[in-house]
Amino acid sequence: MKTLFHSFPAVLKRGLVVLGVLAAGACAYNETLGRNQLLFVSQGQMAQLASSAWTDLKKQEPTTSDPKYLNRVNRVAPKIIRAAGENPAEWEVEVFKSDQINAFALPGGKIGIYTGILDLMDNDSQIAAVLGHEVAHVKFNHSGERYSQTAAAQTALSAGGALVGDSQVGTTALQALGLGAQYGVLLPFSRKHELEADKFGLRYMARAGYDMDEAVRFWQKMSAQKNGAPPEFMSTHPSDATRIAQLKREIQLIRSGS
Ligand SMILES: [Zn+2]
């Protein structure tokens, strides 16, 4: 992990830049999102960072070769990726063999989905809903934004003189990818990122010809799971009344051509 950081802006390591400079220099307006993003790492830098984490992850967590899962995922994923304006050949989707009810995305077009969540899905549209959500996180560089926010906060803390050590930056990078110090521990995105991923995930679904109402049905199903042991996807992806209400609102907007 450490060597990758040599490609990161040196200022992050030295902690020499005060927060004001970072905020002024790195805020970019994203027209699709309709808001400013604090970003001082590019998609490419995040992808580079994620690639070794992804390789490690695939070594540590078993993947499945069961066609029951692979056929479904391989049928849906390319359509969703294409609907997001991306080239499926440049993305990688792995099905991990685990009862965890979860899915995740890493920069550079890496998506992981667990057999546990696939077992809950009634149809391709529900798979499309979760994949669309994950593709949107990557597309809008939510990890890069999380990285930038965390690093800016740490830089501000250390601006008084202390240096930001490599280990500290390393932790920030893992957090930005949504991985805990140990793989398999997924950290949450902010509520804003979750709602954006939902919103654009629906648009990709619609463009790919899937039934958006199935997204609502799936989230309701996930919500009902809450009664037992809380599934992982719930804790990293809070599904509540607000979220389901927003999905319904967005579906109406998309159908009315907005
Ligand atoms: Zn999410």
Cα of 169 vs centre of ligand 1, distance in Å, is: 23
Cα of 167 vs centre of ligand 1, distance in Å, is: 26
Cα of 62 vs centre of ligand 1, distance in Å, is: 22
Cα of 17 vs centre of ligand 1, distance in Å, is: 31
What is the Cα–Cα distance from 9 to 32, expressed in whole angstroms?
27
The two tokens of residue 221 are: 């199903």
Cα of 136 vs centre of ligand 1, distance in Å, is: 9
The domain spans of the chain are 2-255
- Residues with Cβ < 8 Å from 56, sequence gap 6 or more? 183
Cα of 237 vs centre of ligand 1, distance in Å, is: 5
What does the pLDDT read at residue 187?
A: 64
Cα of 162 vs centre of ligand 1, distance in Å, is: 34
The two tokens of residue 241 are: 């009344």
Q: Residue 35 forms beta bridges with which residues?
A: 30
What is the Cα–Cα distance from 159 to 163, expressed in whole angstroms?
8
Cα of 45 vs centre of ligand 1, distance in Å, is: 21
* Cβ atoms within 10 Å of 254's Cβ, excluding its own: 16
Cα of 161 vs centre of ligand 1, distance in Å, is: 36
Cα of 186 vs centre of ligand 1, distance in Å, is: 10
Cα of 160 vs centre of ligand 1, distance in Å, is: 35
**Helix, strand, coil: what percent of the chain each, to 5?**
60, 10, 30
Cα of 188 vs centre of ligand 1, distance in Å, is: 8
With beta carbons less than 8 A apart as the criterion, state whether 94 and 54 touch: no
Query: β-strands 110-114, 92-96: how paired?
Result: parallel
Cα of 19 vs centre of ligand 1, distance in Å, is: 27
Cα of 168 vs centre of ligand 1, distance in Å, is: 25
Cα of 89 vs centre of ligand 1, distance in Å, is: 23
What is the Cα–Cα distance from 258 to 244, expressed in whole angstroms?
19
Cα of 13 vs centre of ligand 1, distance in Å, is: 29
Q: Is the dihedral of CA 155, 159, 165, 168 positive or negative?
A: negative
Query: What amino acid occupies position 5?
Result: F
Query: Which of 220, 62, 240, 56 lies closest to 126 in space, CA to CA?
Result: 220
Per-10-residue mean pLDDT for the chain, 258 residues long?
A: 38 42 65 86 84 87 95 98 97 94 90 94 97 94 82 61 47 64 60 90 98 94 67 56 90 91
Cα of 65 vs centre of ligand 1, distance in Å, is: 25
Q: In Å, what is the CA distance from 154 to each residue of 165, 201, 205?
A: 11, 32, 38
